[in-house]
Structure 1
Amino acid sequence: MSIVVSAVVIALVAVLAVLVYVTTRNAVTTGKSVSAKDFSLLDTSLLSRNISDKPYIAAENDRLQMILDPVSLGITLVDKASGERLESVHGTEEDKLNASWKGFLGSGVSIEFFNGDSPSLERADMFNHKPEVYIENRDDGFKATIVYEKLKIALDVIAELTEDGMKVTVPADSIYEGEQYRLASVYLYPFMGATRLGEEKGYMLLPEGSGALIDLEDNKGRFRAPYSKKVYGDNIAVDREISQQYNRPNVKAPEQIIMPIFGMAHTDRKIALLGIAEEGKYNCQLLAYPNGVSTNYNWITIKYLYREDYITQVSRSSGIRAAPKEGDFRDVGVKFTVLTGEKANYSGMAEAYRNYLVDNGIIEKKNTDYNIRLDFLGAESKEWIVMKTIVPMTTISQMETMLKELMEYGVKDILPTYMGWQKGGLSLSYGDNGYKVEEKLGSLRQLDTLAKELKDQGINLMLYQDFLLANTSRNYDTQSDIVKNLSKNLAKKLTNKRLYPYYYYLTPKRSLSDARKYIEKFEGTDLKGITFGSVANTLFSYFSGGNIYSRQETKKAADTMMEGFGEFSKAMIQPFDYMWKYADYYFDIPLYASNYNYVSREIPFLPMVLKGYMPYYADYANFEPNKNSFLLKMVEYGAYPSFILTWEESSELKDTNSSDIFTSNYDDFKSMVVEYYNLLKEISDKTDGTAITRHDIIADDVVKVQYENGVEILINYSNREFEYKQDMIAPQSYKVYEVN
């Protein structure tokens, strides 16, 4: 009997799986994404094949030459001044590649696809699955129409030679599909500038943390896995979050990719390549393969995603992999910038990316005046018998007392943020759009009065608000207010805390509504400073009302929100680069990478992009075990200091969702606040808001940073003295060299 029951249960689970999959795969993708065209409508009669199979010069300008191989669609970029070349197809007989990798390495363009209902990816290139290629030559490059007749997939690739490099795009309206095979992703010149083993000197640049390098050395096969990470973080619609044990220290989450860029520098040949994802950047993946991982080659690229498999739940404890029928089709493209001579390094790449951001209106010069960031935690909540009780940590009057005392100590340039000011305290208030001040902290009038007094002294009081997270103990309309993943389950942000083990995510529609209420609430007050939480560093697609909304739609909602806060001063916690044009302050800039074993060294690439254009602040100095090393990092990266402070002892937070704030009492940190304020202000006064122009590792554990105004800073992380310009720099210290 039990066998029969088990068989029935298994059958029901299977039926449910099919129903879930079919329903999801028939969902409609909204926004600027378009549907692929029916392959049966493709007309190639007006297209022409290239006359010759031999490589030829497809385009040329004063600086560069583009050579096209019409068979592989491989492109060689030639720097005319030096004669140095960047190749995009590779492979030798010595490599002993299988057919799949041989075709991939030998192709300029490749695709991945799903076969029927299978969620497993397959790959096609210019040799495997043998496409027909039609090339239209243009003045600045070419357009190639690639037709996989057997797969019933076709697309256009447009390559354009520019003054500083090359741009490659795939227009969304050029994509055709049949029924059996569905396009999942596309690679556009993934091996441009690749190298073999340790045959060349140089490195790959990862936008990991603030920046990381992978040296182009022979790894002797010691690495087995590639670097693979989504640009702008994981997508909660398809990616699963890993849970940990309650109230145990969190394993630090890997850093997110904040910028859609990558780089390859050939330092021995003094030529480098900066890749920038342009169109389609909101749903793409960065890949970096050191030699030894699958092949003998070092290569780095961005893969553009149209469809992704995901886990769809069929019961409370099990799920199956599935892929939606509809794809997120939009224009995708990559810009390659060629750098030569003294610019062919990561400093030159940072300058090139900053110029790109300025030229495209993504960043503009902000007020970079020095401030010390002081966050004050107002209140939290904890469980008391069967109720939630408030844990007041810093009242409004106590915050005022601390600020006044610090000003008496000479700390006058302050950027304060008041967190947990809302009714219920920090964690319980997520999802509450009443915006009432917690009565145990004071009143709105009292808070506004303090904001006005501080404003008169040149200090802008910021209020922390997260418009994305929702506390699960509140009531919501889950059909319209709460984000669902593609499995139609409520998406959750895990906290590793027992009181509130996870939060929900509010839909962009609900977030925008809450933001408008916030703006109305503080109309006519002096509370016009806001520190944004998750909305600046979280990007997702989601399912709602029978539709699948793309990451680009979520980004557009964030744009609308920020435009509504036009007159507010805006601080953001680790904002993605598309948010920088709205941000006045960048909080928690990463000072470290994720410590992957193939990372050779960390570099301040992100600070080199931002310095002189936006003030940025390190994470809280409270929690750093090696405070001197952390201080040296702030000096090297040009970051301003941050502290989180409370009036009460942090032990009061033991049973709250802020229990990881384990040391914050003002009396314990006020002398350190004064010390850091003075040390870093002195350096800031000398660099005078200018950009970092160069960063060099001049010896083991010794770096030099150069600023636009000529100031140099030598940082010695080592345990020995280091001689520089006839000075002996003490171990674990720094020295500033001013302009004469």
Structure 2
Amino acid sequence: MVKPIWKNRKIGIAAGAVLVILGVGGYTIASSASLTGTVDFSPRETIRMPITQGAALNTSATDLNGWTVVKQNQRYALKLHVKSGNLAVKDLSTGFEWTAFAKQELLDKEKVGGTLRTNLESPFIMEYFEASAIQRKIKNAKDPNALITYSQTNQGFAADYTFKDIEIGFRMEFDLTDDGVKVSIPVQSISEKNKFKLISIESLPFFGAAGVDSIAGYIFIPDGPGGLIRFPQEQDLVGKGYEQPVYGAELTTGNFPETNMSPVSMPVFGMKQGSNAFLAIIDKGEYTASIKAYRPGIISNMNSVSTKFVYREEYDRRLSLGGKSVRVFQDEMAAQDRVVDYHFLRGDQANYVGMAQTYRTYMLDTNRITNKLAPTPHVPLDLTLIGGDSDWNGNSGYTPATTFKQAQYIEEDLKKSGVEAMHITYEQWQEKGSLSPSRLFSLEGKLGGDKDLQAFVDSSHSNGYKVLFKTDVVEASTEFVNHSPKSFGIRSIEGNVMMDKDWFWFTPNVSYNLTRSIGDKLKGYGIDGIQFSDIGNLLFRDYNPSYNYQREDSAYVYQHMLDYSNRELGTNGISLGNAYALQHAKHIQNLPNDINHFYDINERVPFAPIVLHGNISYSMGAGNIRDNDQEEFLRAVEYGAVPSFMLTYESTRTLQETYSWGVYSSRYASWKDKLLKEYKDFDRLAAVYDQPITNHRQVSDGVFETQYGNGISVIVDYNSLSFRVEKGGSW
């Protein structure tokens, strides 16, 4: 995986992000007031799901095994086993059935007892706590105090669960669709009448669970570009299973990630069993959901994958200024509807490619991806030029690495050398770089003045290149930014300013207004867009009572920031590629090219590239800072990325004592030949730049084939370290 460039911080916030502070210190204290307050768009509208009205469940069609067909369409039949509480969806063309939990013959092989055993026979696992005890407790549908009422609905059935002893209740609705089954938990159905409070609900935790002796298949999880956990198990168990929050941990509870692993960027998961598979899309509630996957031997003898919906976060409440704290749950419940949409696949579509194409179709149909790439005769190079940066000690000022004139030289030299298409990202352009405390928009004098910048932009445009300026409008350090954390920073769950040592995060309204202020200046130079360093890889709440933003509110503001850059400048760029940002994203830098190796994941697959290719361009790390040069180059080719480099005109030594120290080798003169060779290689893929990926497979050991919508295939051979492009491929 490509190493990210970190500032001098012990705790990284996200992988693949160049965490630099550009533009956050550009306002004087007198003019900072304009950054707070309202924004120029309407607040996010919240529409709650209604509780579906139903009639008494008709069980007259119950078969000898206790199953009742509740709803049927041309493809599927939705069935309920009232006595056990199990549900099934039968594929009418094949007879294959997906069940909410394992059938009796599998359950009989389980050795666990107590609640662990009854969890395996429940359509949910509910966590709750007693206000005076602050201890996690579990309920499921097999609890002796569970009162269950079924009702018939137009699309299926609803199950109302009420626990008489703790007076917590909620509803799960099961709707048959043309593609499978949709499972909903309307927030208006949740009731809490006593001292007991809801923590989480794990929806259908063992849907489609496969036993240790099941037919060959795998669990799909959205880790990195995509990961598979294959079964039957071929190796000893490693780790404790997979559980990761969608879009990363919630920072306002103090859950700072201790590693640079990529967060889950797409709210999906799936499973394949032989010639049948499903993809589950978290359609509502993804902002407070986690993806869970377990191999046999961890919680059961089955392979399982599901989502856990979190209603209350756990955090440390401080009891004194001295730092003593106690672990508690938040008082406020996340009042969100929760929906998981299961899409069933069969035959040659029952694999990770079919899953990815299903999610791609969903994203396009629901306008969650709106961009479409145009055909191009040449693949664009994603070139980042580092202007320079502040010195570590802050006393020596700013060390330039690529002035505007030098940037112009580089782009003109690349044009003469045959680079026909390029997007240039220029970063660390503000006065004093990362340590800029002054006005919002103030060019670093050592890079050159207005005329030099304008000449660079004009020359780039004349050569057919686009120029984006990179900026971080999300986080800042109190060491050098004039903006007050109390006025501009988000609040933690306890109401105090959220800090990680001397770092804080801007409330989304401030980020939006910073974007507009910077963008209005960039527009005057004809700069084509903003490359956002944290939009797309970071998300959090804000407990400031002036805003009280949920994570989806923050995402809503970030979407407007991307839209502003598109509308006023022409384009934008994000990092990593979280799904919340894809609606208005034009390009993604640092799309993960590898899985996280903290979990027992067998195989890396291009799920995210299949979803994105042809609509949003992406790069997978700079060619000059790879860990494994040839392997990562070939993977970028296999996964349909564009070429990428991060360079400086001056020697890399100029950055060693600055906040951009993580670029270990960047001098343009040293990397020019390598860049030109890679560009020429990537340019062989120009014909598929705007095309969707229609298939992907492993041809043989170390050889992979990616097929595109126009019939062209790219075959990558990691054994010979080569690739070829073929019309029609080998399918």
TM-score of the pair, normalised by structure 1: 0.86
Correspondence for 2:482 among 451, 464, 475: 475
Find the residue that maps to 1:455 and give its secondary structure.
helix
Residues 222 and 575 of structure 1: CA distance in aligned 2, closer, same or farther (over 3 Å): closer
Q: Does 1:70 align with 2:82?
A: yes
Aligned to 1:436: 442
Q: Distance in 1 between matches of 2:487 and 2:56?
A: 51
Q: Does the 8 Å contact 1:34/1:329 carry over to 2?
A: no
- State the 4+ residue runs in structure 1 displaced beyond 4 angstroms: 30-37, 46-53
Change (3 A) 1:36 1:86: closer
Q: Do the aligned partners of 1:88 and 1:193 also contact (CA within 8 Å) in 2?
A: yes
Q: Which of 140, 162, 179 is the equivalent residue of 1:125?
A: 140
Aligned residue identity for 1:79: D
The CA deviation string for residues 356-382 of structure 1, in whole angstroms up to 9 with x for no partner, is: 001000113422542011101112111
Alignment of 1:113-512 (within 5 A): 113-218=128-233, 222-241=237-256, 253-266=260-273, 268=274, 270-314=275-319, 315-367=321-373, 369=376, 370-384=379-393, 387=395, 389-425=397-433, 427-429=434-436, 434-473=440-479, 474-492=481-499, 503-512=503-512
Structure 1 window deviating more from structure 2 (661-670 vs 362-371): it is 362-371
AA matched with 2:228: L
* TM superposition shift of 1:36: 14
- The 8 Å contact of residues 220 and 292 in structure 1, kept in 2 or not, is answered as no
Shift of 1:35: 12
Larger displacement relative to structure 2 (128-137 or 300-309):
128-137
1:566-602 deviation line (CA, Å, top 9, x unaligned):
2331111113112112111111111111123521110
- The match for 2:517 is 517
Partners of 1:34 and 1:309 in 2: CA distance: 27
Alignment partner of 1:421: what SS? coil
What pairs up with 1:6-17 in 2 under 5 angstroms?
Answer: none
Which has the higher mean CA deviation after the structures are superposed, 669-678 or 46-55?
46-55
Q: Aligned to 1:537, what secondary structure does the other structure show?
A: coil
Over residues 516-552 of structure 1, what are the superposed CA-to-partner deviations in whole Å (9 max), with x where a residue is unaligned?
2123323443123110111222111132248753112
- Could you tell me how far 1:448 is from its partner in structure 2? 2.9
**Which range moves more in the overlay, 341-350 or 307-316?**
307-316
Q: What is the correspondence of 1:681-720 to structure 2 with a 5 Å cutoff? A: 681-685=683-687, 687=688, 689-718=690-719
Q: Name the residue aligned to 1:737.
A: 726
- Cα pair 1:479 1:544 within 8 Å, conserved: no
Residue 84 of structure 1 corresponds to which residue in structure 2?
96
C-alpha deviation, 1:393, in angstroms: 1.0
Unmatched tracts of structure 1, length 5 or more: 1-29, 244-251, 494-500, 719-730
Select 1:667's aligned residue among 666, 669, 679: 669
Alignment partners' CA distance in 1, 2:450 and 2:581: 29
Q: Which amino acid aligns with 1:420?
A: Q
Give the CA deviation at 1:333: 0.5
Shift of 1:433: 5.9
Number of residue equivalences? 672
1:59 aligned to 2:64?
Answer: no
CA contact (8 A) 1:211 1:603 kept: yes
Q: Is the 8 A contact 1:433 1:518 kept in 2?
A: no
Separation in structure 2 between the aligned mates of residue 47 and residue 308 of structure 1, nearest angstrom:
36
Q: 2:33: which partner in 1?
A: none
Taking CA–CA contacts closer than 8 Å with sequence separation of 6 or more, which of the two structures ends up with the larger relative contact order? Answer: 2
2:392, 2:116 → 1: CA distance?
57
CA separation of 1:388/1:186 partners in 2, compared to 1, >3 Å: closer, same or farther? Answer: farther
8 Å CA contact retained: 2:472, 2:534: yes
SS in 2 for 1:222: coil
Offset at residue 673 of structure 1 (A): 0.9
Are the equivalent residues in 2 in contact too, given 1:378–1:420 (CA < 8 A)? Answer: yes
CA distance in 2, matches of 1:608, 1:573: 18
DSSP 3-state at the match of 2:466: coil
Greater Cα shift, 522-531 or 565-574: 522-531
Do the aligned partners of residues 553 and 88 (structure 1) sit closer, same or farther apart at CA in structure 2, a change above 3 Å counting? same
1 CA distance for matches of 2:138 and 2:76?
Answer: 32
TM-score by length of 2: 0.87
1:533 maps to 533
DSSP 3-state at the match of 1:556:
helix
Residue identity over aligned pairs, in percent, reads: 25
- Listed as ranges, the matches of 1:478-627 within 5 Å are 478-492=485-499, 503-545=503-545, 548-565=548-565, 566-568=567-569, 569-627=571-629
Give the aligned residue type for 2:562. Answer: M
Matches within 5 A, 1:41-60: 54-60=66-72
Partner deviation per Cα, 1:76-113 (whole Å, 9 max, x = no partner): 11111111111111252321222212221101133211
Distance 1:325 1:50 in 2: 40
Q: Is the 8 A contact 1:696 1:703 kept in 2?
A: yes
Give 1:432 deviation, angstroms: 6.3
Question: Compared with structure 1, are the counterparts of its residues 219 and 147 closer, same or farther at alpha carbon in structure 2 (3 Å cutoff)?
Answer: farther
- Label 1:313 to 1:650 Cα distance change in 2 as closer, same or farther (>3 A): farther
Distance 2:615 2:546 in 1: 43
Structure 2's unaligned 5+ residue stretches are 1-42
Letter in 2 for 1:99: G
Q: Which amino acid aligns with 1:161?
A: L
CA contact (8 A) 2:648 2:668 kept: yes
User: Any conservation in 1 of the 2:55–2:153 contact (CA below 8 Å)?
Assistant: no
Following TM superposition, by how much is the alpha carbon of 1:129 offset from its aligned partner in structure 2, in angstroms? 4.9
C-alpha separation in 2, matches of 1:118 and 1:159: 34
> CA deviation digits over 1:130-158, x for unaligned, max 9?
31112220232012221111111111211
> Which deviates more from structure 2 when the two are superposed, residues 540-549 or residues 362-371?
540-549
Question: Which deviates more, 187-196 or 521-530?
Answer: 521-530
State the AA in 2 paired with 1:521.
K
- Distance in 1, matches of 2:549 and 2:371, equals 33
Residue type of the partner of 1:735? R
Aligned-partner residue type, residue 260 of structure 2? A
Cα distance, 1:129–1:395 mapped onto 2, change above 3 Å: farther
